[in-house]
Structure 1
């Protein structure tokens, strides 16, 4: 029993440590798996960031493309698609995970730039300032692209470090599992042997231990399978990398290469595995030693076909021996940098004779060097063609081409003509054309043609050629600006030289620095003698020299200059000492030190002209006084300022009676002495004066305006037209008689036509003819009636008008009832106040308003409402406004609407005589008012009848609209 207890104690002594050891193995295995999974997951994330990092370069490329379009003056339509692509790529860059690897400043700058790009519109970029905005975007894009490349480098280092960590972890885990397995198996075997030798009961325990061992082995195999799957996933990531990835062993041989590296060296992956690295990458020495960290170097990689590629190698040493390296092809980047440096050298170098005159020679020199630059980059031929009328002409040709080879020259010219304006490809892609535009106009076309054996132009090549074209445009614009500047200076000198005013400039000391030809002529002093001389001693009169000197000293001391910006009349002194009047204006030019420019004009002749004008005024005043026609002038305040003796003689009014009267008071005096009535056919306002003699005076009023159009007053002109009035009276009587005589036969024709219509002698054709005669006879009767009305008004000159002060509302409503067509009462809308009185002839007013209403309905064939509105402000004229929504009239038609026999509609579709509105105007003038018309074609017409104001009717105040048909 004691021995058995000892054996149990012995088993307890090793069982507990073994259990702890197994638990530690499980924990370490799980931790190793987790550690390996985390690092491989980081490798996947970092590889994904490396793969998707292309979006930064795409953003830079698209920004450059839009910048080139904006710089070349592209229209908003041409910018629409490139700008949309740029905004899309900007959003992709903003959402990149790689952005989080940038610094806060670069990240904020990128975010602001992307927001700015999203706010761009094609119209905004095509205006002034678009180039500067795109330059700012390009600057931020390049900086962030550089930072992204650096972040990618760091991530590649992280990939290598994580792969190393995962490899070390897996290696250590495998070794640990082997050791633990050996230890465990040995322990179990020893325990099993001891149990078999000492105790049969240990058999069952051994079997259980063996089962546990098998389960542990199965878990180990599962962990190894999982680790293999993780490794396969990492390999798949490396297979899709854009950069080359290699792994070497401790013997310096390739143990793994990805497809990108195989394509870079133009070898198959299977061929490279196991091959020494030095045979493929002889320049990559020394490799980083174990534990020395990472090494970055640029090397030259030579392909089997002899081509050389510039490669950036980022290598890290493996803990187990060998290297892990990422290779990035820099050949295209280096080539682009070399091309840009060569292009900068060309455009920065001054041409022959730079700055010595017109820039055509220097421009041709620059274009030749640019063509040579393109030929050095791509081979073949470079040419420059310019428009020559409707065809094109080659001015420059660089390359191995015989100048007499007409076929090649014709092909180049054909490409320029077909694709020069928009820079498209020509032919099979072996030719690329780049337009050179200045000020939106095609100045010429750069043509680059590669040899037939060369590859077609790639997108990068086209971008480079467009950049060459942009530099050519910039140089051409600079040369054109220089030409314009020289032309502007020449024009300025010509203007100064041709100026009729003297232009004299001086410095702050008063020394003359410029003396134009007009100054030479005015002051009788040559320019050579004037420049450099003190102005005070040369052209300032002796009596003003001291004041001039004190003024210049005050200005130099910072005091005010009371002469600047003013137009002064002073005296100047010629070379012979003669003083003469001048008009002087002095300005300070924005220069440092200050320069003063004086503009002088000899006003000797103007002073003489002013004296002559005064004499002329005296003469006109004399004419005013001796004129046989009467004049009355009103000042700006509307009161009489002067009357001539002829007016006093014609009216019998003295100057004392007229002084200070306004126009209304003058009218009252004239009415007291005569009866002011319009006379037929004379127009304007005529007055029949009874004393001191019976005369007919025609009155006209004109506004007197100053030189700037301001009203200076009014002048009323009275002319004795007694003979013309008598002739007009005779003419009116004649028209009245003739109209009366014509009406009798027309009435007979009308009656006979009615009689013929009752017969059944002929067919329908005869009836149509008789209908026509009937209608024409009716129109003649209407015409004669309106002629009689006009003749009566003109002949009797308001004598048959019966003016009574009466309410206006019943007159308007009565005219509405009488002249509204049947069935159209709902279209008429009245707005008439009941408390408004006017002094009118009721019948004549209703006749005038009826004519206007008839026109409103007649010229609204498509329907539409007709509005009649009556309004009057206190003390103002009463207006009756008739508005329709008819066909309307043009401005010229509206201006002639009141002429007799004038009709805006000449088609004959709308009946009328053309006398209605002229009759309305005559009636309104007899009432002391007027008729006015405004119209818009297709929108309708408004006719306004204006009457002098009268006293209120005493009825209820307010405006009561009345419905048509119920006035």
Structure 2
């Protein structure tokens, strides 16, 4: 019995030892394998989190990182995921843990991250092994009851402890919705099945990681590609030389490029949201624009889409200008978008017009040639060939200087080029050489042309032939010289004849004066007076002709002597007084107090001016009065400007004769019945004398009302009270009948 019991006990003990040994070995094996799987799982999860979070950390897209964390914890076995940067939590996600399973926490350090010091913490459940300490306690209790029961319990415990996590692991690794057959597995078969299931889990995790990694790479490439396309589109948009305007199907502007801002004067922020019709389309075209858009939206047809056409646009300030426009339509989920490419062609049209004008001008009858910036001829028109005899081919590459007869005059040509560089143009006469060798005088104009950078590019020159003009000028000069010679001969003849006639005339007047002093009867005295009056008149005409001849010869000059202005004025009035008394005219004279008494100048010529104006006033006044006065306009210590006014109530002068009144051989009475004699030279001589005295002479007159003659002159104030002998002799001559108001 004891042996049996002992045998039983020994057998049970051996069985228990073997069973415990086997169980311990199996348990140790399973723990090592399970721990190895956990280490591999931990490594895969670490790589998965690192690779998946790297793009979001590079972009600092923390919202995307949070979404990634939530996506990762959806994977089997992961309970929570926390990503930290220092003490800051960048992302955190978790799901409720199974209370029956242990949660394993794995700290991770994310290497090669865009941010430094980034860590992650992952918690996951993989099923837990029961502690062997509890099992041995149970076996010790059961061993007291019986080896058999203990063996059964141990075997059952082994099966339970071995198969329970395997079943759970299998359940976790089985896709949702699939059912597995319940089979009784042996101990070693369970171990193989566990290894297979762990390997399968590893493969599935690697596949899931690979899919996630590829998905993230594709997402990263798609984002980079989209960003690159966006940057390229933006660069093209900004670099375009054309204005780009995008409008919706309700004509609202949604995009306005920088070039459009420059062309139209609108800022993008001001025009976006407004319609094209109210901003850039002229009023005259707005209705047509609206009808065209309406027709396209209703029928899908348009006559302007996908074509380059020329239209008129309007700037912000209201000015209209020509444009070239191309419009494209794009269909979107929100409707149509119309993209307009616009180019300002104002300058282009202006250049075309100028080119047409220049082409027409180049074909003008005036000779033209164009030279490059080095002065070499590159083009000439047919008129150039007609004048110079050189064809266009013969002068290309030549310098204009080589076509001139003064080509060796380097000083002249350097001066021309300096003027061109300084002012941009030169104009003057130039001697061209004809192909046959003779000289062609021309008037040449050269203009320098610069490009848009203000750099000299060309010279444009045009000229006209002066041959006929020079010939005409030579003939005109010859005729002028002949006329001047004839005029000088006439003047010399008049001077000589006047001098020759005046000498015997003075003799005749002297004899008549002596004859008048003898005893004569009334008839004889009347005849002597008539003869003397006619002689004096003739002598006055001769004196005028002599002065006129001097005036034409340019030899009319003034003396510079000191005279008494008051005496000269009184004597001149005394000379005219008898004529006024004979016609019963009132002759009044006045000299202002501020007129200097002693002046320096030609007193005889001043007397001549006064006498001429007074004589004309008395001559052409049949009733009424004649007034003469002298006043001082400006008085300086060394000079004085005097004004002489002669006022009469005579016949007056017609306004149409006043402009020619001071010309030679002109008389205001020439158009009427002449009742007075004269040469018509007096006023012309007065004008010349007044001009020599830095003065002017003028007249204000009305036909039938009388005239006012005004003469001004500038004379020096005499410093010495010495009067010339001639004026001293004249001063001694007195007349008893004179009216002088001072």
Higher relative contact order at CA 8 Å, sep ≥6: structure 1 or structure 2?
2
Radius of gyration: which is bigger?
Answer: 2
TM-score by shorter chain over 0.5: no
Query: TM-score scaled by structure 2?
Result: 0.32
